[in-house]
Every structure is written in C-alpha cells, then in structure tokens.
C-alpha cells in the first residue's frame, strides 16, 4: 500500500512525536508498504535545527527504507503565542509544493500527524486529488493546549476561541479516520464532532526488547558518582512549557537535606536553562543533556523512581510519550494527573499519582518510596507487565494495518476497481525503497534554497 505520512516532526529527533512517527513509518516499510514522508528539518526538543540540516532548504533523503522529503521551517529562538503560530504556519506553507509533487505518486492513504492542524487543508486536498483516504493522528490537542497554556490569549469562550474551535471541528469531521493515543483523547475527538465509527485508539508504543530492567547498576550511577545505596529520582524528556518541570527544582530543593536521595534530570527544551540555574547550587541534583538512543535503556535504568510532572491546565490534553519507556524499564513511577484522565488511569494501577502542580505531594511520594524498596519493586514489576501486555508495537500495528487495509478496500471500491493488488508480505525495507524509487537508492540531495 502506498502511504504518505505528513507531519512536522521526524527522525533523527529522539523524543516526542518525531520518534513515534519515524518508528511508525519504518515498521510499515518493514511490513511491505511503500511509505513516503513529508516533514521539517529536525529541531526538537532543542528548538534549533540539528547539525547537518538547514532550516531554509528543501532536502530529500532515505532513512531506514523510508523516503523523506523535508520542507523549510522557521524555528524561533524563544517560543511565544504568535511565534509558535508563525513557526507552525511556515511549515504548512513551505510543504505545499511537496504535496503537489507527491500527488502524482497517487498515495492510497494520507496520514497527517497533529500537531499541526495548519497542515490539514493541504492533506485533505492531496487526498481528494489522489483519490486517497485521509487519516488524522492526534498526538496533542494543540488548540486546547494553546489556550490553556496561555499561548493564545482570550480564553476558549472568546471570539478567537470560538473561531479556533469551530475551525478545528470542521477539520476533524472531514477526515476518513481520526485516531489518538489514549481512550480519553479519542473520546475528546468524538466530543469535538468525529463520528465514533471513524475514531480509533492508536497508543504510543515501546519496544520492550530495547527497554528493559537491567540486572546490574546503570553506568550512569557510576558516571555521576551517585552512591550505590542512594535512591535515584529521574526525569528524562522534553523540558518544555506543558511539562511543568519547574516543580522538579522545588522538590529537589525541599529534599536537599536528604543525602540518601539523588535527582537526575535529562533532556532539552525551552525550560532547561531555568532548571539548570536553580539546580546548580544543589548537591543532590545532576542535569544531563539529551542522550543518544543507544544510551536510553542505561539512562532509564538509573532510576529507582521515575517522576512525570504535569501542569494542571494540560493534564488531560496529552498522554506523555515518555511514559512508555518509564513503564518498560520496570521502575516505580510517580505521575501528576487528575482523576478521569488517561494518565491517571494508567499510572494509578502501576505507580503513584499525585495532583498536578502539588510539589508537597510529589515530595511526600518520593520520600515514601525511597523508604520502601519492596513497594518500589512491586510497582516496577506491575509497570513492566503493563508495558509488555499493552504497549508492544506488534499489537498496536495490527490495529493500524487492519484499518489501513479497510481504507484501501474502500478507496478501491470508490474507484470502481474489482480488487486491490496485494503487496508482497515479505518485502523488506530495501525492496520497499526500490519500489518507491524506481530501484535506485536515494542519498540526501539539497534541491533548492528558500
């Protein structure tokens, strides 16, 4: 099946939406599908374009069997409401020529990854022109988050709010399939006007063979000079606005006298500089830059306790992607979430949940677990079992492929075809690449300046 994936973020970004979009594309290729991707140069979570890429160029490359077309993007040095809108809109506009070019490829399915909905009109037009089915996969409800986090002013009941949510509702109702990463987020999509028959839950996944409990102390404990009998509290991931990571410095400060508890904070993002400044005078804190994928399992295993902070106004808008690795590592998790949210539902049975933005409750949960190794072990085993049972790529991709097959059959019927020619089931990544590129191997080529 010919599948076009259209989204802002992609590999080599190692966290957030780009990580999951790339893994989805690669697994689809491994299953014999012909996949092409339109995306931006990698910039997340550092908010600067990665070395080896240019923000103002169209480029084309092949990564692990996936043909990738990158469009220019404006990346602001500092994020704000208007700057964020211009940032998203710059990619939506610059990617239009690539959509037009790939229309001739005649994809059978066009999958848009949100954020950003700015790209939705182009995705829908391409699907219609190519006779393809359209699929919107929601990683974040960006309109809700923009108002709740103060990126857009005026509130949801303002004139701007009503216009934004009306536009969102109009867009959602025009996709053939709308999926999201938790049951609560799917329910929210239905509340926004998506027909339940077109809604699909497609959770983020984790390779439990790559992320697993180590039978020995992590190399990071030795590298950071943390005593073997200390309890390590780890936060690893994006350090952005919606994470509310400023509370981590509050908790580390409150527990500075506990020499048996060490904090490790790893990642990058807009809030990192402030976190570093606040943690610098604290002897119980270690702040690390973003680590390579090859070190992820070692990093996650330095934790005795994973912490997952959340702002109160974003707690039901997102299902943090970092949670999957936390659970798979087999360590205890303390998360901030409200009852009735997907995050609460998952963690409450496999960890400890405290209210969002409640630093005292978070500190108390850490102290409680630090003094109870047996409970930490019990929670870690439960988390690991949940990850293996529920978050494996195989189970999730069965749902994805079944829905894609249904879309292909529907498109064939609409086109008056009697059948759809099956793809070879054993086609590997190299064969799929050749099928999409006339047998040639693409190298990265800079095509034009913008």
Q: What is the pLDDT of residues 329-359, one digit of tens each?
A: 999 999 999 888 888 989 998 899 999 999 9
Q: What is the CATH number of the domain that holds 127?
A: 3.40.50.2000
pLDDT confidence of residue 311? 80
- The predicted model gives 301-315 an average pLDDT of 86
- DSSP bridge pairs for 63: 66
State whether 354 and 283 are in the same domain: yes
Domain membership of residue 211 (yes or no) is: no
- Model confidence over 80-103: pLDDT tens digits? 678 888 999 999 999 999 999 999
152 pLDDT band, cuts 50/70/90, is low
Confidence class of residue 156 from pLDDT cuts 50, 70 and 90?
low
When the pLDDT of each residue in the chain is averaged and rounded to a whole number, the result is 87
Give every CB contact of residue 430 below 8 A, 6+ residues apart in sequence.
Answer: 65
Of 390, 406, 436, the residue that ends a domain is 390
Helix (H) or strand (E) holding 263: strand 261-266
- Identify the helix (H) or strand (E) that includes residue 297: helix 296-300
Shared domain check, 236 and 362: yes
Residues 16 and 157 in one domain: yes
The answer as to whether 172 is a domain residue is yes
pLDDT score, position 265: 97
Q: Is residue 212 part of a domain?
A: no
Same domain, 429 and 354: no
126 shares a domain with 256: no
State mean pLDDT over 393-400.
86
Grade residue 155 by pLDDT with cuts at 50, 70 and 90: low
Domain contains 149 = yes
Q: Say what percent of the chain tops pLDDT 70.
A: 86
Q: Tell me: do 227 and 193 sit in the same domain.
A: no
Last residue of a domain, one of 366, 390, 414: 390
- The whole-angstrom distance between residue 442's C-alpha and the CA centroid of its chain comes to 27
Residue 448 predicted with pLDDT over 50? no
Please indicate, yes or no, if residue 277 is contained in any of the structural domains.
Answer: yes
Considering the domain architecture, whether residues 357 and 233 belong to the same structural domain is answered as yes
Hey, CA dihedral for 300, 305, 310, 316, is it positive or negative?
positive
Query: 210 lies in a domain?
Result: no
pLDDT of the residue at 446: 37
The number of residues making up the chain comes to 450
What distance in Å separates the CA atoms of residue 220 and residue 226, rounded to the nearest whole number? 8
Query: SS3 for 193?
Result: coil
- If asked whether residues 102 and 247 sit together in one domain, one would say no
- The pTM for the full model equals 0.81
Residue that is last in its domain, among 373, 390, 407? 390
What six digits make up the tokens of 192?
Answer: 């926004």
Confidence category of residue 442, pLDDT binned at 50, 70, 90:
very low
What is the per-residue pLDDT for 150?
66
Q: How confident is the model at residue 26 (pLDDT cuts 50, 70, 90)?
A: very high
Same domain, 198 and 248: no
Same domain flag for 23 and 40: yes
Number of domains comprising the chain: 2
For residues 381 and 407, state if they share a domain.
no
Mean pLDDT of 297-313: 92
pLDDT surpassing 50 at residue 427: no
Instruction: Please check the confidence at residue 105 and state whether its pLDDT lies above 50.
Output: yes
Look up the domain containing 359 and give its range: 219-390
- Phi and psi based region of residue 64 (left: phi greater than 0; alpha: psi -120 to 50; beta: remaining): left
Residues 287 and 169 reside in one and the same domain: no
């Amino acid at each position: 099946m010919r599948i076009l994936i259209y989204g802002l973020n992609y590999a080599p970004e190692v966290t957030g939406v780009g990580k999951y979009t790339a893994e989805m594309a690669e697994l689809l290729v491994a299953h014999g599908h012909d996949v092409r991707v339109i995306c931006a140069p990698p910039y997340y979570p550092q908010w600067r374009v990665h070395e080896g890429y240019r923000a103002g160029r169209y480029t084309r490359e092949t990564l692990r069997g996936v043909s990738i077309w990158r469009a220019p993007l404006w990346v602001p040095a500092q994020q704000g409401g208007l700057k964020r809108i211009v940032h998203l809109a710059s990619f939506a506009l610059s990617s239009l020529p690539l959509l037009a070019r790939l229309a001739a490829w005649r994809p059978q399915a066009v999958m848009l990854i949100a954020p950003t909905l700015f790209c939705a009109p182009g995705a829908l037009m391409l699907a219609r022109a190519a006779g393809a089915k359209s699929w919107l996969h929601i990683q974040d409800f960006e309109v809700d988050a923009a108002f709740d986090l103060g990126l857009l002013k005026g509130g949801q009941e303002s004139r701007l709010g009503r216009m934004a949510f009306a536009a969102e509702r109009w867009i959602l109702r025009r996709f053939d399939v709308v999926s999201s990463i938790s049951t609560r987020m799917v329910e929210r999509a239905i509340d926004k006007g998506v027909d339940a028959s077109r809604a699909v839950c497609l959770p983020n996944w984790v390779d439990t063979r790559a992320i697993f409990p180590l039978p020995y102390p992590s190399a990071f404990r030795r590298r950071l000079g943390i005593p073997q009998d200390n309890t390590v509290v780890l936060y690893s991931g994006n350090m952005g606005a919606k994470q509310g990571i400023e509370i981590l410095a509050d908790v580390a400060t409150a527990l500075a006298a506990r020499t048996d508890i060490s904090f490790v904070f790893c990642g990058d993002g807009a809030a990192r500089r402030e976190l570093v400044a606040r943690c610098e005078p604290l002897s119980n804190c270690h702040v690390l830059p973003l680590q390579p994928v090859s070190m992820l399992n070692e990093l996650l295993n330095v934790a005795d306790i994973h912490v997952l902070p959340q702002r109160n106004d974003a707690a039901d808008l997102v299902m943090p992607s970092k949670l999957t690795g936390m659970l798979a590592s087999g360590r205890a998790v303390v998360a901030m979430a409200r009852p009735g949210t997907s995050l609460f539902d998952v963690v409450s049975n496999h960890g400890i949940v405290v209210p969002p933005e409640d630093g005292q409750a978070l500190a108390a949960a850490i102290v409680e677990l630090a003094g109870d190794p047996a409970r930490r072990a019990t929670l870690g085993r439960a988390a690991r079992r949940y990850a293996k049972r529920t978050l494996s790529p195989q189970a999730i991709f069965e749902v994805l492929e079944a829905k894609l097959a249904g879309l292909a059959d529907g498109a064939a019927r609409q086109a008056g075809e009697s059948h759809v020619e099956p793809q070879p089931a054993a086609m590997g990544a190299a064969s799929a690449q050749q099928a999409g590129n006339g047998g040639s191997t693409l190298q990265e080529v800079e095509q034009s300046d913008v």
